Amino acid sequence: MTEVLKIDGLSAGYGPLRVIHDLDLVIWPGERLGIVGLNGHGKTTLIYAIAGLTGWQRGSILLNGEQIGRTRSQGAGRYTHQIVRKGLAIMPQGDEIFTGLTVEEHLDSGAFTREAWRDRKTRKERVLDLFEPLRKLMKTPVGRLSGGERRMVSIGRGLMTDAKLYLVDEPSLGLAPKLGQSVMEALLAIDLEDSAMFIAEQNVALLEGRVDRVIGMHAGKLKGEASTTLGIG
Amino acid sequence: MEIAQILSNAIIVAAIYGLIAVAVSITWSSLGLINLGYGFVFSFAGYWAWLTAQHLSEWPPLIAAAGILGGAVGGVIICLVVFIPLHDKPNFTTRGMIGTLAISLIGSQALLMQFGPRAKSLPELFGSWQVDVAGMALTSDKIGIVLCSALMLGVVVIWMKGSRRGLEIRAMMMNPHAASIVGIGIRSTGIYVMALTGAMAGLASVLLSQTYYIAPFSGLTPLIKGVSIALCGGLGSVQGAVIAAMMLGLTEAATSRFLGGQYVLITQFLVIIMILIVRPHGISGLLDKAREQ
Amino acid sequence: MTETQPGKLQPITWHNPLEPWGADQGNPELTSVAQPDAGDVWRANTAYKAKTYKVGRLKHYVIWSNHGRRLWRRWRWWPTRRNVLQIRGLYNRKTLKAEKKIQDRRPIYWAVCLALLAIGPFVFPASMYNTLLSAGTIFGVFAAINVCWTLILGTASIFTLASYAVVGVAAFVTTYLSMQWGLPWYTLPVGGAFIGLVMGGVIAIPALRLDGFYYALLTLGLNELCRVFFTTTKAFGSASGGLYGADSFIPDSWSPVAQSLLSYYSAFGLLLATLFLFRFINGKRLGRVLRMAPEKREAFAEACGVDYRRARIIIFVLTSAALGFIGGFYATLYRGTAFSIFSFDTVLLGLAMVTIGGIGKAEGAILGTLVVIFLDKVLIGLGPARLFLIGMIMLGVVLFTNNGYFGIKKQFNAWRDKKRGEWRSMRSEKGGEALPEEATERDNKDEVYFLRFDKMQRDFLKTLICPEIIEEHRRQPLGQHSAALERLLMYFRRAPMDDKYALQRNAETGRYKIIAFSGQRGVSPRVVEDREYDTIGDGYHAIFVRRVHDLMEA
């Protein structure tokens, strides 16, 4: 069984700031991994480093055995689309959405591979089964949606392709606790099969006991492996 | 009768300049690049069409296709030389604009050196027949120009709405950062956009050469008019550009009818300035919030 | 084992001091395996690994000796209190001598360059005298225009492309007035300034509402509008290439050379006047107010009480008046104007001039003008390739520099700072050492140093481990060992109590098992492995192997 993600000695940062320090991480197929840490300890940067969006980075990142990390000190985001095409789905923090597109177009924009584009109808159905409230908003521009609905759209967009690894950044941030809870429920309801999910979250209570592993993140390093159920590796 | 004549002239002017305006508009909103190199693309495409007519055949669709292809190539050249090296550098907007101006300077000088200052003319693409509609004589080239540009605009709009690439371009207009997260490559999309908009400029060049000539600097006036229309319609909005093109075409036709040809630009600019003072972001410049981060 | 290997020390041989008295156990003599030099590890760990270059960031100031009594005496720009060249008096800490150093060398460069321009006509080569003199005149006028334009583009950050239009309108209208009403030459610049003021006021109205590039595109159209208006209006000589016939200050009775010299120096004087204008707008209150409100931070400046819009418009209108003045001057200098001043190529060339040197700096505008005018007017033999060349230079400057030639230094410094920051942050290493963030959080700094030392020690001990040592320990777990093995064992014994290995003897079978202490009082040790050992020596050796393994893993 190859690892979905194998990070070895990853360091990343922006200019003189080093946010991630020599980080090692392995994610196995079918695993849900929670990363817990306070603001400013590098959760988002870790996700951005995997996607190649940080100012500079070095270290090896293997996605399904394929090298996607590179030592680079410029061109943030220049290769992100290639990395994403290799099977990464990023559900970013906050409202990284296209305000003018309708919900339907928005979901379509997530289906960027040829196969995904071809059967986007069934995929959309699958997303709508998860996020029932979106069904009657399909023709509405995303700019008019509420915060929770936007988050659903942004997560649904990530689910439109067959990603190997889902990177979810702070799914409950800025949402009412009840909404955050339901978004998290939806994330947990997704059938992963042999892909994996990586959830960065500040609220430990939302993750505790419901994901396979919870790892703390502190000052750019991972702290401990509070393994709850799964003991692979 | 007279009103109908003015209207038909307005529509023809709007059809040609509207193409360039929409091209400028799409480039600005999806790439953030103010492309003032369309003047060069315009002449470049014109020369391609002319070369085709000279050496290959005078079959109209082939000439039009050569013009469109030439425009697309010109657009891609600008993209490769200016957009791709500069798009993530500081002061991109200013430097991009100056870079496209430099290309237009270089390109028109190169055309001048290659083909000389003498103007070239294309064969008539639409034949020379007339139709009388409601007592008004419509010449073939007028009908052809309007039909071709409407067709091109329609194809572009449908392509932008329906296809995957179009969706990518529209997504990049809204939020370039999120677009890269979704898996849209800024550089490859840039090439599509510039090829598409260059093709539009190329078609406009072929159409305009039915009434004017092809010369190294012939792209200047269409560029300035197109930019003004795009500005007026609100950068980044196709509908706005079409509305503005109609308004300015109407102004042009009405002015040349009632005041005389030399006042056309003056009235046009008065109209543009009025519109911009009332609506600083143009008629429907709703999208630029996303671009002016 | 006696020969010295590079990087390795001589093997240490231990002699049993008790041997002459007969030691029944233990070895009379023990030879250690060849030990690597511990200094190598030290040097490897403390070395500065980032690649360094011999590019300093020290500014090389010119330092003169000074008299101690005159340390604080300075020249000043009369009548202000401003210090000429910002000379600072100071005492050298090492030599204890009084010194003075120049902190602002720009006035020297300006003086040298302007002096070169002033003596230019006396050093021009005779073969190109006329070309250079007329090019110098054009340079003076265009440099003046570009300095004004820079004031609008840089200081006021209004991206206008209509500067040449203002100059042209002023020049045409004054020429026309001079021809119609016979105005004398000295009124033309003043009249031009008035026209420029009015035009600036009119053009400034959209600038209040439109931002950035909308305005740039609008002014591009405005320029075209002026061109069409003047070329099609009969009163302005639409048939000929321009309008000529204004009154000039250059007497017709003079010889051609004297006329050219007069126009050269009058253009030079115009340039000097514009530079003063630049200095008095950019360096005084208006310029400083606007430096507080750079682009994209206007809202913040506004919140601080800076009325940046008003300052921008004032600069715009004042500079437009100056441009009008230049237009009037142009009309009297050349007795009229050509339509080419409105052409798109002129705007492009002007933009090339401003960009090549760097937008926002007077020296940039002048350097760019010099380059472009030299290519365009002196190298006439190149034909259309001149403009091609100018375009290539412009493109290259835009592609490779952030802000023209005079921005290279800043760009290079920023690039170097970025690289330096990245290298510094990439440098910290893995394994044992505390990262800077952690080091600041620890109260006891001894721990930080201990971690650093411990890492080095482990690095060194790893180099000692070899099959010979393990074999030596297997033969004799207790007793006197060779120096290398002794060092290793000493390190293992010093380990903290938590998770330290120990042997547990099963009282019934008499066999040994490896356990690990918990390190906490009252918490029983855990069993490490189920394997049992027959003798205590085997057990000792098993623990040793386990620790060596742990050491190599860590």
Q: Which domains are delineated in chain B?
A: 2-291 (1.10.3470)
Alpha-carbon distance of B20 to B228, in angstroms, equals 10
On the question of pLDDT at A221 being above 60, the answer is: yes
Q: Which residues from B are below 8 Å from A75, CB to CB?
A: 88
Could you tell me if C506 lies within 8 Å of chain A, comparing CB atoms?
Answer: no
Nearest-neighbour CA in chain A from B32: distance (Å): 16
Taking a contact as any Cβ pair under 8 Å apart, which residues of chain B between 125 and 184 contact chain A? Answer: 164, 167-168, 170-171, 173-175, 177-184
The residue-averaged pLDDT of A143-167 equals 82
Could you tell me if A75 lies within 8 Å of chain B, comparing CB atoms?
Answer: yes
Q: Tokens 């030079």 — which residue? A: C268
Per-residue pLDDT, B124 = 76
Nearest-neighbour CA in chain C from B20: distance (Å): 14
Partner-chain residue, chosen from C418, C426, C438, that has the shortest CB–CB distance to A219 = C438
C394 band by pLDDT with thresholds 50, 70 and 90: very high
State pLDDT tens for residues C28-39: 777 777 777 888
A partners (3+ CB pairs within 8 A) are: B, C
The highest-confidence range among A67-76, A196-205, C320-329, C462-471, by mean pLDDT, is C320-329
The residue-averaged pLDDT of B54-73 equals 87
CATH number of C124-400: 1.10.3470
Nearest-neighbour CA in chain C from B208: distance (Å): 19
| Three-state DSSP class for residue B139 | strand
Quick check: C425 and A13 CB within 8 A?
yes
CA dihedral B111, B114, B119, B121 (to 10 degrees): -90
Per-residue pLDDT, C440 = 72
Nearest-neighbour CA in chain A from B190: distance (Å): 13
The residue-averaged pLDDT of A142-159 equals 81
Per-residue pLDDT, B77 = 93
On the question of pLDDT at A39 being above 90, the answer is: no
Longest dimension (CA), chain B: 59
Quick check: C270 and C322 in contact, CB under 8 A?
no
Could you tell me if B227 lies within 8 Å of chain C, comparing CB atoms?
Answer: yes
Could you tell me if C416 lies within 8 Å of chain A, comparing CB atoms?
Answer: no
Q: C423: nearest CA in chain A? A: A16
Could you tell me if B187 lies within 8 Å of chain A, comparing CB atoms?
Answer: yes
Partner-chain residue, chosen from A75, A112, A157, that has the shortest CB–CB distance to B88 = A75
B62-71, B155-164, B189-198, C249-258: least confident range: B155-164
On the question of pLDDT at C187 being above 80, the answer is: yes
Partner-chain residue, chosen from C425, C435, C438, that has the shortest CB–CB distance to A17 = C425
Partner-chain residue, chosen from C214, C221, C355, that has the shortest CB–CB distance to B98 = C355
| A35 beta partners | A200, A215
Report in angstroms the alpha-carbon separations of C345 from B81, B106, B108, C364.
Answer: 21, 11, 10, 20
C57 band by pLDDT with thresholds 50, 70 and 90: low
On the question of pLDDT at A211 being above 50, the answer is: yes
The highest-confidence range among B63-72, B129-138, C63-72, by mean pLDDT, is B63-72
Asked if this assembly's ipTM is beyond 0.95, the reply is no
On the question of pLDDT at C62 being above 70, the answer is: yes
Average pLDDT for chain B: 82
On the question of pLDDT at B290 being above 50, the answer is: no
The residue-averaged pLDDT of C64-74 equals 74
Partner-chain residue, chosen from B85, B90, B106, that has the shortest CB–CB distance to C402 = B90
Quick check: B227 and C217 CB within 8 A?
yes
The residue-averaged pLDDT of B175-181 equals 79
Quick check: A81 and B184 CB within 8 A?
yes
C18-27, C295-304, C469-478: least confident range: C18-27
On the question of pLDDT at B72 being above 90, the answer is: yes
On the question of pLDDT at C526 being above 70, the answer is: yes
C8 band by pLDDT with thresholds 50, 70 and 90: low
Quick check: A220 and C437 CB within 8 A?
yes
On the question of pLDDT at C328 being above 90, the answer is: yes
Angle value at C-alpha B56, between B50 and B58, nearest 5 degrees: 65
Quick check: B81 and C395 CB within 8 A?
yes
On the question of pLDDT at C429 being above 80, the answer is: no
Per-residue pLDDT, B75 = 93
Could you tell me if B290 lies within 8 Å of chain A, comparing CB atoms?
Answer: yes
The residue-averaged pLDDT of B190-194 equals 90
The residue-averaged pLDDT of A25-45 equals 83
Query: What are the tokens at C183?
Result: 């105005």
Per-residue pLDDT, B292 = 38
Closest CA to C200 of C172, C227, C162, C168: C162
C113-117, C236-240, C479-483, C488-492: least confident range: C236-240
A60 band by pLDDT with thresholds 50, 70 and 90: confident
B9 band by pLDDT with thresholds 50, 70 and 90: confident
Per-residue pLDDT, C60 = 66
Per-residue pLDDT, B216 = 82
A33-37, B275-279, C137-141: least confident range: B275-279
A65-74, C419-428, C438-447: least confident range: C419-428
Per-residue pLDDT, A14 = 80
On the question of pLDDT at C184 being above 90, the answer is: no
As a whole number of Å, the end-to-end CA separation of chain C is 31
Could you tell me if A85 lies within 8 Å of chain B, comparing CB atoms?
Answer: yes
Domain ranges of chain C: 63-104, 124-400, 444-553
Q: Strand ranges (DSSP E) for chain A?
A: 5-14, 17-27, 32-36, 56-63, 66-67, 88-91, 165-169, 196-201, 213-218, 221-227
Q: Which residues from C are below 8 Å from B220, CB to CB?
A: 224, 344
| C65 beta partners | C99
Residue A144 neighbours by CB distance under 10 Å: 12
| Residue % of chain A over a pLDDT of 90 | 0
Q: C421: nearest CA in chain A? A: A16
Q: C414: nearest CA in chain A? A: A15
Per-residue pLDDT, B288 = 44
C partners (3+ CB pairs within 8 A) are: A, B
Alpha-carbon distance of C85 to C97, in angstroms, equals 21
Could you tell me if B272 lies within 8 Å of chain C, comparing CB atoms?
Answer: yes
Alpha-carbon distance of C367 to A224, in angstroms, equals 61
B57-71, B120-134, C98-112: least confident range: B120-134
Residue C506 CB contacts under 8 Å (≥ 6 apart), including other chains:
C512, C513, C532
B282-286, C135-139, C276-280: least confident range: B282-286
Per-residue pLDDT, C51 = 67
The pairs formed by A186-189 with CB atoms below 8 angstroms and a separation of 24 or more are A186/A130, A186/A131, A186/A152, A186/A155, A187/A155, A188/A32, A189/A130
The residue-averaged pLDDT of B274-281 equals 79
Residue A66 CB contacts under 8 Å (≥ 6 apart), including other chains:
A86
Mutate to test the interface with C, among A7, A24, A57, A73 (most CBs of C within 10 A): A73
Alpha-carbon distance of B22 to B18, in angstroms, equals 6
State pLDDT tens for residues A94-133: 767 777 778 888 888 877 777 777 888 888 888 888 787 7
On the question of pLDDT at C50 being above 80, the answer is: no
Q: How many residues does chain B have?
A: 293
Q: B162: nearest CA in chain A? A: A105
Q: At what angle do helices B60-78 and B38-51 cross, to 10 degrees?
A: 140
On the question of pLDDT at A13 being above 50, the answer is: yes
Per-residue pLDDT, C137 = 93
State pLDDT tens for residues B193-226: 899 999 999 988 888 887 777 888 888 888 888 8
Could you tell me if C220 lies within 8 Å of chain B, comparing CB atoms?
Answer: yes
State pLDDT tens for residues C282-315: 888 888 888 888 777 888 888 888 888 888 889 9
A138 band by pLDDT with thresholds 50, 70 and 90: confident
C278 band by pLDDT with thresholds 50, 70 and 90: very high
Q: Which residues from C are below 8 Å from A21, CB to CB?
A: 428, 435, 437
Per-residue pLDDT, A227 = 37
The verdict on whether omega for the bond into residue C6 sits within 30 degrees of 0, i.e. cis, is no
Alpha helices (H) along C292-341: 298-303, 308-334
